């Protein structure tokens, strides 16, 4: 009987990206400190590449957070990735689309 753990690499990658940005660290700096390519860091952050536990530990060390905060959903430190992603997308919108989005959000909250 095999017990296999499902790992959400996209979620882990999003948390890595969120913490990296909140610390003001670029992908280039993170890549340099980890001795990997910028492309590799990008793939990790998008959940395309499966990351080893060793490398995850190194990333946590560079970012100054606990490894558990990158892999567990209960973490407060790294769990604001959704808010960051929403902010990034909202910033791309013009004022009319932002007003429309606000109306949608208000409607959604009433459901």
DSSP code at position 93: S
Is the pTM value of this prediction over 0.75? no
Whether the Cβ atoms of residue 14 and residue 45 lie closer than 8 Å to each other: yes
Sorted by where each begins, the domain ranges of the chain are: 9-79
Give per-residue pLDDT as tens, 67-97: 888 887 544 444 456 677 788 889 899 999 9
Other beta carbons within 10 angstroms of residue 105's beta carbon come to 11
DSSP string, 25-85: --HHHHHHHHTS-HHHHHHHHTT-SPPPHHHHHHHHHHHTS-HHHHH-TT-SSSTTHHHHH
- The predicted pLDDT at position 43 comes to 97
CATH architecture of the domain with residue range 9-79: Orthogonal Bundle (1.10)
Helices 9-22 and 81-91: angle between axes, nearest 10 degrees = 70
């Amino acid at each position: 009987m095999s017990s296999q753990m499902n790992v959400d690499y996209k979620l882990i990658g999003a948390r890595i990206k969120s913490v990296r940005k909140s610390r003001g660290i670029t992908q280039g700096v993170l890549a340099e400190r980890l001795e990997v390519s910028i492309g590799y860091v990008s793939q990790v952050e998008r959940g395309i590449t499966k990351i080893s536990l060793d490398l995850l530990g190194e990333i946590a060390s560079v970012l100054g957070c606990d490894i558990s905060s990158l892999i567990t959903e209960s973490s407060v430190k790294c769990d604001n990735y959704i808010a960051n992603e929403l902010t990034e997308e909202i910033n791309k919108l013009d004022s009319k689309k932002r007003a429309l989005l606000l109306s949608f959000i208000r409607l959604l909250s009433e459901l």
